[in-house]
């Protein structure tokens, strides 16, 4: 996995920080988080990194592809986490695994998770691109099949809390480790006390 000197066929040669492509993605993430996907134009992205629109189009064939590339790290991690959790035997283990993965995901990719959850354009694009919509599978992992209202509310509460990590300015100053710990504890507490009897 390290930077082997020879035979670096796919890796960007000489690693200039990932290059222009990554600069586009960084700028896009900033702007999507601040203005939403629909509220962000290619001109804004180009201006943000000091080039023209045409230079951006040299890296990506369309705006949709930029959006998908921005969301990709989060989406792939999410999909893997769901599949992993679904392989476990007991409902308790499935929920614990999914919850831990979700907390880790939203903390390490705060803005991506917020965009994916809260931006209608991003959600639609992600759903149309991914093989299967993960939202109902996550819901089942968290509150089981046919949950009662209390489980649904508790589940939504946890989901909302996870979304807020990328939306609430007052959480920005906390580092990943301590934020994860408190989030996980509170979510576990809430779910075990209010979504266990389903």
Partner DNA sequence: GTCTATAGGGAGATAGAC
Partner DNA sequence: GTCTATCTCCCTATAGAC
Question: Which does residue 164 touch among DNA, a second copy, none (CB within 5 to 8 A, set by kind)?
Answer: a second copy
Q: Helix, strand, or coil here: 134?
A: coil
3-state helix, strand, coil in the chain (%, to 5): 70, 0, 30
Question: Which does residue 80 touch among a second copy, DNA, none (CB within 5 to 8 A, set by kind)?
Answer: none
Question: Which does residue 161 touch among a second copy, DNA, none (CB within 5 to 8 A, set by kind)?
Answer: a second copy
Please, what is the Cα angle at 24 between 111 and 9, to 5 degrees? 110
Count of chain residues binding DNA (CB under 7 A): 22
42-81 footprint of DNA as x/- string (CB under 7 A):
xxx-x---xxxxxx-xxx-xxxx-----------------
Angle between helix 149-164 and 135-143 (nearest 10): 120
Give the CA diameter of the chain: 59
How far is it, in rounded angstroms, from Cα 36 to Cα 31? Answer: 7
Q: Which residues bind DNA (CB under 7 A)?
A: 19-21, 40-44, 46, 50-55, 57-59, 61-64
Q: Which residues bind a second copy (CB under 8 A)?
A: 34-36, 38-39, 117-121, 139, 149-150, 152-165, 167-168, 170-171, 174, 178-179, 182-183, 186-187, 189-190, 193-194
């Amino acid at each position: 996995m390290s930077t082997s000197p020879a035979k670096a066929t796919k890796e960007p040669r000489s690693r200039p920080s990932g290059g222009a492509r990554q600069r586009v993605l960084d700028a896009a993430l900033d702007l999507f988080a601040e203005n939403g996907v629909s509220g962000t134009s290619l001109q804004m992205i180009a201006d943000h990194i000091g080039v023209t629109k045409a230079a951006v189009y040299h890296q990506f064939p369309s705006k949709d592809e930029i959006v998908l590339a921005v969301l990709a790290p989060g989406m792939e991690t999410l999909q893997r986490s769901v599949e992993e959790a679904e392989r476990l035997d007991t409902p308790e283990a499935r929920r614990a695994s999914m919850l831990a993965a979700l907390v880790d995901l939203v903390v390490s990719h705060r803005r991506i998770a917020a965009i994916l959850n809260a931006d209608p354009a991003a959600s639609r694009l992600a759903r149309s691109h991914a093989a299967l919509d993960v939202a109902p599978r996550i819901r089942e992992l968290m509150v089981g099949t046919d949950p009662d209202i209390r489980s649904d509310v508790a589940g939504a509460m946890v989901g909302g809390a996870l979304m807020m990590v990328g939306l609430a300015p007052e959480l920005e100053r906390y580092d990943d480790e301590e934020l994860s710990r408190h989030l996980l504890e509170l979510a576990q507490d809430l779910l075990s006390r209010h979504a266990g009897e389903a």
